[in-house]
Structure 1
Amino acid sequence: MARTLITMLMVLISILALANGSDLCPQFYDHSCPQAKDIIQSAVAKAVAKEARMAASLLRLHFHDCFVKGCDASILLDSGGSIISEKGSVPNSNSARGFEVIDEIKAAVEKACPKTVSCADIMALAARDSTVLAGGPSWEVPLGRRDSLGASLSGSNQNIPAPNNTFQTILTKFKLKGLDIVDFVSLSGCHTIGNARCTSFRQRLYNKTGNGQPDFSLDQSYATKLRQNCPRSGGDQNLFFLDPVSPTKFDNSYYKNLIAKRGLLSSDEILFTQNQQTMEFVKKYAENQELFFQQFAKSMIKMGNITPLTGKSGQIRKICRKVNS
């Protein structure tokens, strides 16, 4: 009897939380838009089938959004009126992509359920679906986020970890968002898919130390190969696989690459060379893909919970690129 009462109480609390919009929960749209998840999954599958790289792009959009003002779809806003878009920031300019895919998904969801599903939730689901389509883990995405009424160009420039940041700088940026050193290592594993531009790692190929010495944290045969399409000057936008072993498959090759000195970005390499704790995690994930998958899913849920707008805060944008008039 007591157990039944406790169960009923828990259900009641969940219903009240859902009604008040105060908490995120996977069942948020089960009654208001039950087809939303299927619509989003289908659209993501279509986009990834057309271009495998899109899986990494959609995953990255969610990451870059959550690190600025929380997971509120501020990264999707175009400039206009008092809004200066985050798309022009250093981490996003000529780099962040997938906006058209989000537009298509939003239009389809609006047709089915007008003014119901937020752009922020669409991004969170698209990130999960992209991971699964690439062969990675799945997880229940807590839902109920609302969309911001503004953007933060300065926040985008300052808060998103950069390829050339020091270990401590990146860790601090994670901690400021409520993420820890385990999240740092596991979320970096998303670099098992996707691409990076020459400009993001050129300093590792040419005189990184300032004394003409090569970067010995990078395998020299790999470095020689990279130099072929990443010259000292020019070619800034030339693309390279973050994981040359299995570039479109979400697996643990990223960690194996780090151990073999074939991590492309400095922000990757430092996980194995500058901290004993992160080095041990790299070794564990390189040996045990399932362990990596389990932690990645946990860390993605945790990242998706960074200061979301809920309840009556923000709005449900009709078009993700602009606030409702």
Structure 2
Amino acid sequence: MATFHYFLLLLLISSVAVNHTQAQLTTNFYASSCPNALSTIRTSIRTGIARERRMAASLLRLHFHDCFVQGCDASILLDQSPTITTEKTAPPNDKSARGYQLIDAAKAQLERICPGVVSCADVLAVAAKEASAYVGGPAWDVKLGRRDSTAAFPDVALTDLPFFKADLQTLIDNFGAKGLSPRDMVALSGAHTLGQAQCFTFRDRIYSNGTEDIDAGFASTRRRRCPAVGGDDALAPLDLVTPNSFDNNYFRDLVQRKGLLVSDQVLYSGGSTNSIVEEYSRSPSRFSADFAAAMVRMGDIQPLMGSAGQIRRICGAVN
């Protein structure tokens, strides 16, 4: 009997080891189950960005906002339902998160060629890479095999997503809690070389009357698009020079005290990240390489794998 119990124990340990080994993110996860998955996502996403180039920034941000809330599990894509309180209407997302329709379109294409195989979380991860590459940024080998959450976490979105007025130490702590270094944080912040911000997020900074570390001419220019009262949703590019191209101008702006958001400029405000900003402002290749590496690390935040979660057929609803 003891021998039998020992044998069962060995089988259990072996089974756990095998399951653990299988539940790993890999770059060739769909090579057999859906060999055209990546090309299908690429075509769909690039078509969408070609129609509206700003979508590149939106997709990068969507992936970031997914991963920072309970891991890269597509929870941000879930719609409101009787059983789900969506993350889409949580304050960090409700006025600015966009690009959902491009993810839905790519997923619909995948469901036609290999139904029930490719997760929405993986579609979002690949879409972020394709968005970067399409507008001149780096590409990277996306690790795949994530599964989708069956719940959304709006309360976590409130606590875990970085605030646009956050100070440097708070940002370092936010990213550190996700296993990301200060260098990762600065590199990922460089995604603000793309896209636009709403007036309410930077109004206090441009009307600071000398209390903010901001170039006076830059502040004056920004006031033309953002009145002191009203116009909260008016948009201004985060990078005034090349807002639709991936480059290192964002860091050059910071060195010149032209960061649009408080959480941008604090990266270059006499603190520990000054040297990283200066390095990236001088070397676009260094920034691109570090950005790609940081995106891979961000994609590793708490993925659901193995038998956890599910492969949602529609990204906005559980099966």
Residue 146 of structure 1 aligns with which residue? Answer: 147
Letter in 2 for 1:242: L
Matched AA of 1:313: A
Pairing 1:234–2:230 present: yes
TM-superposed deviation, 1:18: 9.2
**Residue in 1 aligned with 2:286?**
291
Counterparts of 1:1-325 in structure 2, within 5 Å, are: 21-207=22-208, 213-275=209-271, 277-324=272-319
Distance in 2 between residues matched to 1:205 and 1:246, nearest whole Å: 20
The SS at the match of 1:87 is: coil
After TM superposition, the runs of 4+ consecutive aligned structure 1 residues lying more than 6 A away are 16-19
Change in 2 beyond 3 A, CA 1:17/1:45: farther
The offset of 1:216, in angstroms, is 4.6
Cα distance between partner residues in 1 of 2:92 and 2:105: 24
Code of the aligned partner of 2:152: A
Does the 8 Å CA contact 1:146/1:316 hold for their aligned counterparts? yes
Contact 1:197–1:240 (Cα < 8 Å) also in 2? yes
How far residue 232 of structure 1 moved from its aligned partner, in angstroms, is 1.5
- 2:42 is matched by which residue type in structure 1? Q
Q: Distance in 1 between matches of 2:223 and 2:229?
A: 11
The aligned residue for residue 13 of structure 1 is: none
TM-superposed CA distance for 1:215, in Å, is: 3.9
Query: For 1:62 and 1:32, how far apart are their aligned partners in 2?
Result: 24
Which segments of 5 or more consecutive residues in structure 2 lack a partner in the other structure? 1-16
Distance of aligned partners of 1:228 and 1:83 in 2 relative to their CA distance in 1, 3 Å threshold = same
CA distance in 2, matches of 1:195, 1:169: 23
* Aligned-partner Cα distance in 2 for 1:248–1:206: 26
The offset of 1:206, in angstroms, is: 2.1
In the TM superposition, residue 21 of structure 1 has moved relative to its aligned partner by: 4.0
TM-score in terms of structure 2 length: 0.93
Contact 2:205 2:212 in 1 (8 A): no
Q: Could you report, residue by residue, the CA deviation over 1:272-319 in whole angstroms, capped at 9, with x for unpaired residues? A: 0041x3100001011111111111111000000000000000000000
Distance 2:198 2:211 in 1: 18
| 1:179 match: secondary structure | coil
Do the aligned partners of residues 272 and 19 (structure 1) sit closer, same or farther apart at CA in structure 2, a change above 3 Å counting?
closer
What amino acid sits opposite 1:220 in the alignment?
A
> How far has the Cα of 1:17 moved from its partner?
7.1
What is the CA–CA distance in structure 1 between the aligned matches of 2:299 and 2:19, rounded to whole Å? 17
What is the total number of aligned residue pairs between the two structures? 303
Matched residues in 1 for 2:251 and 2:69: separation? 27
Equivalent residue of 1:78, what SS? coil
- Post-superposition Cα deviations, 1:65-115, rounded to whole Å, max 9, x if no partner, equal 000000000000011122100011111012100011111111001101000
1:20 deviates by 5.8
Quick one: distance in 2 between partners of 1:48 and 1:215? 38
Deviations for 1:203-243, whole angstroms, at most 9, x for unmatched residues? 10223xxxxx3245111111011111211111111011010
> Structure 1 length normalisation: TM-score?
0.91
**1-structure distance, mates of 2:253, 2:230:** 27
The answer on whether the counterparts of 2:19 and 2:306 sit within 8 Å (CA) in structure 1 is: no
Q: Is the 8 A contact 1:129 1:138 kept in 2?
A: yes
In structure 2, the residue matched to 1:12 is: none
- Give the direction of change, closer, same or farther, for the CA distance of 1:255–1:17 in structure 2 (3 Å limit): farther
Q: Deviations over 1:130-178 (max 9, x none)?
A: 0000101111000000000100110011100011112111111111111
- 2:85 is paired with a residue of what secondary structure? coil
